[in-house]
Amino acid sequence: MLTVIGEGLVDVVQRASGIEAHVGGSPLNVAVGLARLDHPVQFIGRYGRDAYGDSVAAHLRASSVMLPLPPDELPTSVATALIDDDGAATYTFDLAWELPHLADRLGFMLQGTTLLHTGSIATMLMPGATEVLAAVEYAHPSATISFDPNCRPSIIADVDFARRQAEKFVTLADVVKASDEDLAWLYPGQDVLDSARKWLALGGEEGPAMVVVTRGADGPRGVCRAGEASVPAPKVDVADTVGAGDSFMAALLSGLVDRDLDGAQNRQELRDLPVEGLTELLAHAARAAAVTVSRPGANPPTREELHGAEATEG
């Protein structure tokens, strides 16, 4: 069982051609991406007893993502995405983030979890961020931990606070993914790859096994204990970039699970990953992101679609 903890919301997408509403949220997108890659996954997050909440639940269930928490009485969170002429998205948010009863249910809900992923708003916005950190600490002795800060300066404007929060999760994580924009905002004036290298060193021998930086059209670069690797981004016609990083994250984790590297018992083997293995993981994840940007919205590929993209590229 894989577990994703974080925000689910509705993206209201504004384009020159009109307005559409789609279910989104970075952790939710990762959960859907993992499920479409044929992994059993549960999503621990909140959504309201309203029409938007109904659409969140329906979207997750359509991809066979399990939902251990029922809807609550708060309104479902909404993100408004403005898509520019180049397909890039700019967001504003109306959010409610708290999981007040999570601690009481962790033992039951995380039973059998071999990998726990979190990130984005869920790890930064209070009061829920405190509950998510406690869940990560609870899961760490038995599960692989992954983290994507997916920073939203329009929500968490205090960069010092965001940096401290991110570093708490990085220290506990085995796998970290961040965009070059995330790292440039968190560590202004520093080279983003130097920042990634510093994250790899957080926690010493108990810290991350790898830190991966996505760089848009420049392709991803990763650092691990054995060295560094980069791959080019596949060339595709871009519809928009919504959900691209989340598809990358899901495929990166899927590649680890396919190699039987999930679970705390495999933590040392993950830390010993050779550069060649990191390169393969980066290429696999980059192909998933390329499929997503080739079509509108946060629409991650199925395993069959990803295999097809790999065969075409090969």
Give the CATH number, domain containing residue 169. Answer: 3.40.1190.20
pTM confidence score? 0.93
The total domain count for the chain is 1
**Alpha carbon distance 72, 186 (integer Å):** 33
Residue 178 lies in a domain: yes
Report if residue 72 sits inside a domain: yes
Q: Would residue 248 count as lying in a domain?
A: yes
Is 106 contained in some domain?
A: no
Task: Report the chain's mean pLDDT, rounded to a whole number.
Answer: 94
Residue 107 counted as domain residue: no
Task: Average the pLDDT over 152-171 and give the result.
Answer: 96
**Confidence band, pLDDT 50/70/90 cuts, at residue 311:** confident
| pLDDT confidence bin for 314, thresholds 50/70/90 | low
The domain containing residue 186 runs over which residues?
A: 2-101+112-313
Sorted by sequence, the CB contacts under 8 Å of residue 62 that are 6+ apart come out as none
In a domain, 165, yes or no: yes
Chain centre distance of CA 289: 12
Assess if residue 173 is contained within a domain.
yes
For residue 137, being part of any structural domain is answered with yes
- pLDDT tens-digit profile of 73-114? 999 999 887 888 887 877 778 899 999 888 889 999 999 999
* Beta bridge mates, 221: 213, 230
